[in-house]
Amino acid sequence: MSARPRSQAMPSRRTFLGAAAATSAALAVDLSLGAPPARAADSAYVMGYFTESPNGVGTDYGLHLAVSTDSLNWTPLNQNNPVVTPTAGAGGLRDPFIMRRREGGFVVLATDLKGTDWGYNSQTIHVWDSADLRTFTNYRRPHLHDMVTHSWAPEAFWDASRNQYGILYSAVNSSGHNVLMVNYTGDFTTVSAPQVFFDPGYDVIDGDMAVGVNGVNYLYFKSSSTGGLVGARSTSLNPGSFTPFSTSVAHGGTEAPTLVKSLTSATWYLWGDTYTPNGVFYAWQTTNLAAGTWTPVDQKLYTHPVNAKHCTIAPITATEYDGLLARWGAPAWNRLKSYNYPARYVRHADYLARIDTYPFDPYTDSQWKLVPGLADASGVSFQSVSHPTRYLRHYDYQLRLDADDGTTAFAQDATFHRVAGLADASWSSFRSHNYPTRYIRHSGYALRTDPVSTATDRADATFSVGH
């Protein structure tokens, strides 16, 4: 899917429910508004998402998971395959949401929709319970309303005044446009009658909340009025009490706001998912939610999972982080991102190596196994995931993808030594094994092995190795 019609808003998600109350970098949180009880300090994050790629090669409507220690750079789990998929309703999901329940464990909510049939009406959502996001139990589909419409991008928040959770979602009611609805529940099985939670008079979807931040509740949403992400706020959690206040942020067509509080600083991040082009996340930051203004985060600083769509981000403990990696495993492959063109990744096309703007298909052309160097095990060789008999090698100083012919010359041409990034020591550069004055760099977006002397050369020769 590339982009849905602009007149139709797309589902999305998420919430940060005062989890910073459990961290040394805690926010000032008003416990009367429903912050979770204290627990072992969170030190990492989990992301949930589904996947779509431009030509559908990487599309999957199940729940995918990734983990991060900084909320910016992500390691997809289970080789970026789903960890659970709905077995009823449409047989697929969009817009997953993960929340830690007050009584322990997690609940996972998701839109009942497989694919891009925006006319598909479902009065139910997908729900699972999970003790640790390693197993998923008690799959069910609570019925939220009787309107002939959808139930997009469900999220949840704790409302202490009601002693219940609120389930927030987008639906078209009698107003004729999408509003944010709410049902209340204690168990995510039996729910109250629906109410309108937020209706500014125009189409809104993808509500995401931060509850109890210095006594204020924040609701971010996709606004059809501005075409971007807008915040509203209220000192209560009552339906109808929220008032828009922030400036709108967008990068192309942007939806699916996700608010994330840093566990180590005063910074808040606002993630957004674009649909023009489809499948790219952008991030903004602020140290003051009350100001309602956001600064773009440099794309050098964050990398989201390949093909990820409509994410949810929740804080987890170090034990949970380790447990997720142990259960699902980190990828056997890597991607290489350009330092000075961070929207571009190293890939092969027609067996030539280059950096191209993400997203693209086949996306596997940008996945590499970094194996011990064919000529020197202390070095590294780049084995293609999509063509596993082929490796990146230089030939006439141009990098290309060739089959290993078993010769010493090939092994040397395909071996590089990873060193600290020439433009940024926290990144990486790759020196040729048999031409040690030359490094992998891009020139006109094509990859070559060249001598490096200028600042531009050094930036062209610097890459991040991630997933």
Other CB atoms within a 10 A radius of the CB of residue 4 amount to 16
Other CB atoms within a 10 A radius of the CB of residue 322 amount to 13
Given a cut of 50, is residue 282 above it in pLDDT?
yes
For the stretch 291-306, pLDDT in tens is: 999 999 999 999 999 9
- Cβ atoms of 224 and 203 within 8 Å: the answer is yes
Percent of the chain residues past pLDDT 90, beyond the cut = 90
Residues with Cβ within 8 Å of 90's Cβ and at least 6 positions away in sequence, in order, are 112, 113, 114, 115, 120, 122
The span from the first CA to the last CA of the chain, in angstroms, equals 22
Q: Tell me the three state secondary structure of residue 412.
A: helix
Cis-peptide, bond into residue 362, ω within 30° of zero: yes
Q: Which two tokens stand for residue 144?
A: 């939220």
| Averaged pLDDT for residues 338-351 | 98
| Averaged pLDDT for residues 51-57 | 95
Q: What is the pLDDT of residue 277?
A: 79
For the stretch 63-93, pLDDT in tens is: 999 999 999 999 999 999 999 999 999 999 9
Cis-peptide, bond into residue 359, ω within 30° of zero: yes
- Domains parsed from the chain with CATH numbers: 42-330 (2.115.10.20), 336-466 (2.80.10.50)
DSSP 221-273: EEETTTSSEEEEEESS--TT--EE-SPPB-SSEEEEEEEEE-SSSS-EEEEEE
Q: Which two tokens stand for residue 68?
A: 């991060």
Given a cut of 80, is residue 262 above it in pLDDT?
yes
User: Is the pTM of the predicted complex or chain greater than 0.75?
Assistant: yes
- Cβ atoms of 277 and 14 within 8 Å: the answer is no
Residues with Cβ within 8 Å of 378's Cβ and at least 6 positions away in sequence, in order, are 372, 417
- Cβ atoms of 196 and 55 within 8 Å: the answer is no
52-66, 268-282, 424-438, range with the lowest pLDDT: 268-282
